Amino acid sequence: MNAKHLFTLVLMLATARTSAFAQTSNNIVDEVIWVVGDEAILRSDVEKVRAQMGHVPGNPYCVIPENLAIQKLFIHQAEIDSIEASAEDINRNVDAQINDWIQKAGSKEKLEEYRNMTLTQIREETYDLIKDNRLMAQVRDHLTKDIKVTPAEVRHFFKDVPEDSLPLIPTQVEVELLAEHPRIQQEEIDRIKADLRDYTERVNSGKWTFSALARMFSEDDGTYRQGGEMDYMSKVDLDPAFANVAWSLTDPNKVSKIVESQYGYHIIQLVDKRGDKLKLRHILKRPHVDQKDIDAVLLRLDSITMDIKEGKFSFEDAASALSDDKDSRNNKGLMFNVIYDETTGERTRTSRFKMAELPTEIARVVEGLDVGEISKPFTMLDKAGKQQCCVIKLKSRIKAHAATITEDFQILSQIVRNKRSEEFIEKWIREKQRTTYVRINPAWSDCEFQYPGWIKE
């Protein structure tokens, strides 16, 4: 098992520990089986992972403790290098994970019953584990950030790899987007603001708590179950308009003025301050868009499409001048895909998308388009959860193929870099073994470890 596969397994172990569908027997007598630095690994940690992962290659009572130990090496390195995971990124992944569990369990109540934990407790446990997962990826990125690959190395790799062993590149597409948000009626905005002023009055009068109102009325799926409460966040983690109002709050008993962000309209309450980070509660209300306003935009996009087909102007010119989508408008409508590699921690930006990487609604439309064809107008939600109307143009489709040096140089370059990163991380783990205090319970030491250096002579 090489360093890349080992690191992936460590991440799987960290993620698996959050699974909602495994239970550890209450009859297990717990004990400390490993100590790494000043961190203990318990028998219950291993049993929990074993139950959640199912099949583990090799002896699970050797593989799992070793990989938990490696995880602790990475987490300790994060403390040394002052590496912190983004609270916004963690919360987004926690929300997605918990929502997935609720869907599989059938309801929030069934999930709580199965886990024998409240949703708040599940969220807290999941937050910590996903945080560790993210920290590990960031530490790896930090350790390997200076590794560079030359074109000569890539060509050498391509030359030496047998043709039948070249990586298969799945079908990829390039898509241009023209998007417009329907107008929101002033009456709807006034209604939203009236509701938020009413909530503020209820809190200020002492009749209701902010948390209770958030649970009943907030439309933020990620926080309403926690009474609108967010984790500690820095200013840069939040929408600028939201952050500016939040950082003006000083009294936890007060409610902010109404603030409009890219997500909708909010009121905010300060919970706590820790250094340059705040813990906040908020209530989000999203204005409803009338169908007649959606239909008006769809009709306008249909008219624009007809003008493009008649040659009055190009799709690219229309997207540059008219699109509401900030990410693509400055690129003449061309969408860009930011790919995060959890193995290396790297983010790469490309105009190519695998079909699974596109928003679901766009992927569905792309399936029926020929290259150069413009779609009929359709609706979808943008990244902020707002309704938008769109037309797209399929700029290119690159069919699945074995990698070539001319078409897929960047992918091959990443493969070579990953290989060098694996070698570096493997060397790093062996060095950390040598310099880190490790004690293993004798009953758990009779193993053929991937890294024998855990047991010092």
Amino acid at 229: E
Q: Torsions phi, psi of 415, nearest 5?
A: -60, -45
pLDDT of residue 52: 63
pLDDT of residue 96: 76
Q: What is the DSSP letter of 181?
A: P
CATH architecture of the domain formed by 171-183+289-399 = Roll (3.10)
pLDDT of residue 97: 81
C-alpha 15/C-alpha 69 separation (Å) is 15
Amino acid at 200: T
* Longest CA–CA separation in the chain, Å: 80
pLDDT of residue 30: 84
pLDDT of residue 14: 47
C-alpha 325/C-alpha 45 separation (Å) is 46
pLDDT of residue 274: 87
Cβ 6 vs Cβ 450: under 8 Å: yes
Q: Where are the domains of the chain?
A: 3-148+417-454, 171-183+289-399, 186-285
Q: Which fold has domain 3-148+417-454?
A: Triger factor/SurA peptide-binding fold (1.10.4030)
186-285 matches 3-148+417-454 in CATH topology: no
pLDDT of residue 424: 95
Kindly report the number of other CB atoms within 10 A of residue 142's CB atom: 14
Residue of 405, 416, 196, 403 lying closest to 284 (CA atoms): 196
pTM of the model: 0.61
* Relative orientation angle of helices 119-144 and 409-435, to the nearest 10 degrees: 100
- SS3 per residue for 153-164: HHHHHHHHCCHH
pLDDT of residue 84: 84
Q: Which parts of the chain have pLDDT scores under 50?
A: 7, 10-12, 14-28, 343-345
- CATH class of this structure's domain 186-285: alpha beta
List, in order, residues 6 or more apart from 200 with CB less than 8 Å away: 255, 267
Can you count the helices (H) and strands (E) in the chain?
Answer: 15, 14
Cβ 246 vs Cβ 175: under 8 Å: no
Residue of 173, 181, 99, 238 lying closest to 382 (CA atoms): 181
HSE-up of residue 205 (Cα within 13 Å, Cβ side): 8
